[in-house]
Every structure is written in structure tokens, then in C-alpha cells.
Amino acid sequence: MIGVSKTMDKAVKEILADPQTGVFQIVLEFNSKDKKNILTVDRLLTDILIEQDFNAKFSDIFMVFFKVTIQQYLLLFKHFQGLTCTILISNASNETVNKSSSPFFQYTYRVVIKNMEDLFKEISANALEDVDGTGASLQYEDTFIDLTVQLVEMELYNIRKHKFNMILTQVTMEDIIYLFAYLLGIGKVFLVPPDNTRRYSQYVISPLKTIFDVFSYLQNKPDGGVYNKGLSYYYSLGILYVYPAFETNLTPYSDAINIYRVPENTYMGIGGLSRKTKVSTNVICNLASKASKIAQLGMEEIGTVFLTQLNSKIIDGQLTITDTEIVVNENSDTFANDVNNGLINNAYTPDFRECNDNKYTLFSELNSYNYEVQHLTVGNIPLFLFKAGSRISYNFDKAALFTTKMGTVTKAVYSFIGDDRKIVKSFSTQASLDIITNMKDGI
């Protein structure tokens, strides 16, 4: 195609030769602890919104919007305690969408009805129930109510109630994180090995920590710290992810994800924009995209160099005694950022910081702006493709030259576009992505 490099055109055409369908059938099945098969929703499903903010939140925000009759609403209202929803998502043919395959995603969530109201206080009982045996009113039969529910993972509902307070001996940060996962009942953990490999003879977890703050406590505690580039922790679909928040070249823990950004609205008229191979998932981005460089502002507001004094060096390492001499050690440390192109060339902004022997917080602050953010919109892709800590290969043409930046997804927001024109209602997905990439890649 004119306007793209030969390398880009070849990669995109390989995806389009055998794309995954971007069209799905979705069914919601509602049950409660005392009544099964309360309600099944398919055609009256209007929208789904899934927000995964890997740096700002610790779990998925999963919202479902659909319509119900008054009878169905009253049934859900009656059984709202212990209400669950099993969501079944199947691939559907983009041509007919009359018959779908077996579900490729099936998961049961606890249900929170966000706009629950007592209709008996708004509508007369005669309109709501068959009180005289003559049959329900027309209002009862024909009125539809817009309902919004939030789906919460069953395990997460209980995990968030656990509290920690303990004294540990002879442990590393890696030991502590795995212990927390075990105590929370989490069986699967993706953990990037901590930069802090120190073995602590004694480590105190002060009361009362929960999943909301215990990992941040490890990162920021005096004489603690986990990663040099911040810490993110996230729980989704039974897996706990713990990894450096601002690392743009993480070691992959699953199949590679390659994104190919092409000019907006090119390569149109297709049913899918992704292709899964044995080793990777390749995605075409042909929708809106932009990039934000935040390093320059960070350098001016935060600084480029931190000077500090580590307590351990002041107290324990001031003098070194050898057989021939006594050496007075330096007790200051310097932590510098290697990005120096701020509002002026060779920007240099030193700042003195007090330190409580947790150098990882200082490194993290310097790395909190040392990246570029790619804001992308991709369509017709598999659900939950981008996971916390996923390494992304972001490919684009720069001045007709095929260019690659390595990055990490920090936020993914999925929305669904419904199509009522066929026998079986279908949905296509669209995701808004924030990907951080290294400032020096692709230059």
C-alpha cells in the first residue's frame, strides 16, 4: 500500500491473510444461592465496558448494561444477595452470525446491581403484580428497565477482606510476595524478580495491611523497596501480577504481542484485525493514535539527579579499618536519570533528598517520567488480550522507515459495539490503550 514501508505492508498482509474473527456472541446467565436460572440475557444486552488500569487500580472494573422487564427486575431484586453471573463469549461468523461456536471465555462473577431501586415505592402494586388474578398490566408486560451491574471476581470479593500483621525472619522480598499470595489464597502469580535481593533477618509488617496497600508498603517502607522502576500489582482472572511499573522492556511471560500501527482508516472492510501464531499475537492498529512525551516536564518538576545520604553508610560504613590505614568512606550517593533533553539541551536539575535506606523509591521517582506514552485505539481484537505486565512490540513507520519501540501496556479499556441486524445479536470489540515506551527506542 502507498504510504507504508514494505516491511509494514508485508506484516499487515500476513495478518489479513488469516485473521481471527473480531465478532462475538455474548450470553449472560444469572443465578443465586437459592434459585438457579433466574435470567438469561442475550439480545437485550446493550453494552459492556471493561477497564483495566494496571497502574492506578488493582483489579478489573467490569460493567454490564442491559434491559429487563419489570418481572425480570423484580426477580433479580428479590435474589440480589448471593447473585452471580456467568458470562459466555463465543466466536461468531462475521458473515451470518446465526450460529456461534462453543464459548472460548466462560467465567462466573459476583453481581453488584449499581442502580437497584425498589419499584414498589415508585409504581403501584396493581401495575407490578397480578394482584386480582386477571393477568398482569400492559405496563408490567411492555415496560423495560435499563439495568447496570458490576461484575466482581468471586475470589477477589473475599481476597480484599484479608488483613496482614506479622514479623518475618530470614526472608527476601520475593519470599514475602509469594507468602502474601499464599495467604490470600491466590494460586497463580506472575512475579518479576525484585531488584532488591537482600535477605532480611527480621521484617515487620505493621497492622493492618490488605491487598489494597500491602505491596505498596513493601516498595516504600524504610529500609525496604522492591523495584528500581516503581511497583505495580494487579489481580485478574485468578492471577496476581507484580512487576516494575515503569519498565518498558519486561521479560515476556506469555506469547509476544506485536502491534502494527498503520495510517488511520486504512486496510478497512475486514472482519478481524489480529492473528495468533504459535509464538505471538499480531494486531493491526488502523484507528486513532497519538503520542505524549512527558520526560521534559518531569525533568523540570522532579529533577534529573538526586543526591542523598544512606543511613547505613553514615552509621555503619563511615570508617574502613585495614592493616595499614583507616579510610573515611564517602557517605553520599547519587542517583541520576539518563534522559537529559529537557526544555533545553543537557538539562541538569539536581535535588537533595533525605533517604531512609530505601534507595528504590528514589530510583522509582526518577523513572516515573522516563518514557513516552502511546495512546492507541484498536478494533476487532480478542477480549483480555492485554494483561498486566504484557510486553508490547510497537511497530510504526517513521519517515517511511519501519521502526520498533518496546513497551508495556499500562491501561486497556474495552467497549463493545452491538449489531442487531442478524438472528443472533453480535458484538465487536474496541480497546483504548496506553502503552509506555522507552524514550530512546526507535530514534
Q: In this predicted model, what pLDDT tens digit does every residue of 20-52 receive, in sequence order?
A: 877 889 999 999 988 899 999 998 999 999 999
Each domain of the chain, given as residue ranges in start order, spans 21-154, 295-367
Q: In this predicted model, what pLDDT tens digit does every residue of 291-311 receive, in sequence order?
A: 887 666 655 566 566 556 555
Q: Answer yes or no: is pLDDT of 346 > 70.
A: no
In the chain, the percentage of residues whose pLDDT exceeds 90 is: 43
Q: What is the mean pLDDT of the chain?
A: 81
Q: Answer yes or no: is pLDDT of 137 > 70.
A: no
Q: pTM here?
A: 0.84
Say how far apart CA 64 and CA 430 lie, in whole Å: 15
Q: In this predicted model, what pLDDT tens digit does every residue of 70-109 receive, in sequence order?
A: 888 888 888 888 999 999 999 876 554 445 567 888 999 9
Q: What is the mean pLDDT of residues 281-286?
A: 93
Q: Answer yes or no: is pLDDT of 269 > 80.
A: no
Are 252 and 280 spatial neighbours (Cβ–Cβ below 8 Å)? no
Q: How many helices (H) and strands (E) does the chain have?
A: 10, 25
Q: What angle do CA 265, 422, 286 make, to 5 degrees?
A: 10
59-68, 176-185, 415-424, range with the lowest pLDDT: 415-424
Are 404 and 38 spatial neighbours (Cβ–Cβ below 8 Å)? no
Cα separations in angstroms, 5 against 158, 163, 263, 284 = 51, 55, 11, 14
Are 61 and 10 spatial neighbours (Cβ–Cβ below 8 Å)? no
Strand pairing report for 305-308 and 350-352: parallel
72-76, 172-176, 356-360, range with the lowest pLDDT: 356-360
Q: Answer yes or no: is pLDDT of 208 > 50.
A: yes
Architecture, CATH, for domain 21-154 = Beta Barrel (2.40)
